[in-house]
Structure 1
Amino acid sequence: MVRGKLVFITGGVRSGKSSFAEQYVMNEQAKRNVYVASGIAVDGEMKERIERHKDDRRNYPVEWTTFEQPRHFEQIIPKVKEGDAILWDCVTTWLANELYEGHMEQVEKQLYEAIDKLLEKVQVLVIVSNEVLDEPLSDYEDTVYYQKWIGRIHQKLVEKADHAFEMEYGLGRQWK
C-alpha cells in the first residue's frame, strides 16, 4: 500500500477545527472512518464538549468507529485497518494527559513512531490540535513546560505532514 496522507489542523478554541477535520475525513471516502478521542470528561464543560462531538458525528451520513485513547496513542495501531481514514482529536489534550506521567522524550518518540506505522496502513491520518502558542509565555513553570512540548510537537507534525491547515472563524487557511 502507498503511504497514507498526513494532515495537520490547528486553530483556537471553537475555531471549527473538528468540523473541518470531520469533513476532510468523510471526503476521503475510505473503507472506514475512525475517530480517536483523547478527551477525558473531568468536568461538566469537558463532558458537554465530548457529547457535542459525538452528536455531530451521529448526524453525518457516514458511520464512525470511535476509539477512546487519552494516553498511549501507539495503542491504537492494532485497532486500525488497512485503508482507514483516521481523525485524531486532539494532540493538546493527549499531551496534557501524558505530561502527568513524565518521560516526555520517550512519549514524543513513541508518538512519531506510531504516526509512521499508521501511515503505512491508513489512507489518511488527520491530526487536530489547539493553537495555544499565540499567547505570551506563561509565568507558571508547568505551563511553560507544556508550551515547550506542544510547540516542538506541532513543528514536527507540520514537517511530516502532507498538508497543514490553520482554522479561524470556521475558515481554513492552508499553510502546506
Structure 2
Amino acid sequence: MVRGKLVFITGGVRSGKSNFAEHYLMNEQAKRNVYVASGVAVDDEMNERIKRHRDDRENYPVEWVTIEQPRRFEEVVQQINQGDGILWDCVTTWLANELYEGQIEEVEKQLYVAIDQLLEKAKVVVIVSNEVLDEPLSKYESVVLYQKWIGRIHQKLVERADHAFEMEYGLSHQWK
C-alpha cells in the first residue's frame, strides 16, 4: 500500500492558509474531501469564522464531509475511508483545546500515531497551523508552555511532511 502525502501549511492569522489548503486538497482529486475542524464556537468571532469556512466550502464544486474534532484527534482515524483527502484546520486550536485538559505528552504521542494511521488510508493529509512563534516569548508561563509545544509539534510535522508551505498575504512560499 502506498503511503499518502503529508502537506503542512502555516502562516499568520488571516494569511490565506485555509483557502490555500482547501484548493490544494481539491486539486488532489481524492475520493472524498474531509474537513477536520478543531475550532469550538466559544464567542461571536469564532462563530463567524466557523460559518465563513462552512460557507466557503459550500461554494466549491466538490462535496466536503466535515468532522468536528476539537480534541482527541486520534478519533478521526476510524471515520476516514481509503483514498480520502483530509484537511485538518488547525493544529494551534487543537493544541489549545488539549492543553486545558493536561496529559500533553501522551496527547502529542497519540497525534503522531494518528497521522501515521491516516497516511495509511488517505491519499493526502493537509495540516493547517498558525505561526505563533514570530513573536517574542511571552512573560506568562502558560503561553511559554504553549509556544514550546507548538514549536516542537510544527518541527516534527514538517520533518514528516512531503511538502511544507508558509502563507503570507495570500501568497504561498514552499519551504519543502
TM-score tier after normalising by the smaller chain length: over 0.9
Shift of 1:115: 0.2
CA distance in 2, matches of 1:164, 1:132: 16
CA distance in 2, matches of 1:118, 1:163: 16
> Which residue number in structure 1 is paired with residue 7 of structure 2?
7
> Which residue number in structure 2 is paired with residue 162 of structure 1?
162
Count residues in correspondence.
176
> Which residue number in structure 1 is paired with residue 37 of structure 2?
37
Q: Is residue 147 from structure 1 mapped to residue 131 from structure 2 by the alignment?
A: no
Which residue identity lines up with residue 89 of structure 1 in the other structure? Answer: D
Shift of 1:46: 0.4
CA distance in 2, matches of 1:13, 1:23: 18
> Which residue number in structure 2 is paired with residue 129 of structure 1?
129
Q: Is residue 47 from structure 1 mapped to residue 47 from structure 2 by the alignment?
A: yes
Which residue identity lines up with residue 54 of structure 1 in the other structure? Answer: R
CA distance in 1, matches of 2:122, 2:55: 25
Gaps (5+ residues) in structure 2? Answer: none
Which residue identity lines up with residue 163 of structure 1 in the other structure? Answer: H
Trace 1:16-165 onto structure 2 (pairs within 5 A).
16-165=16-165
Which residue identity lines up with residue 73 of structure 1 in the other structure? Answer: F
* 1:42 aligned counterpart, secondary structure: coil
CA distance in 2, matches of 1:43, 1:149: 25
TM-score, normalising length: structure 1: 1.00
Shift of 1:34: 0.2
Runs of 4+ aligned residues of structure 1 deviating over 2 Å after TM superposition are: none
Shift of 1:38: 0.1
**RMSD of aligned Cα (Å):** 0.3
CA distance in 1, matches of 2:112, 2:119: 11
Which residue identity lines up with residue 147 of structure 1 in the other structure? Answer: Q
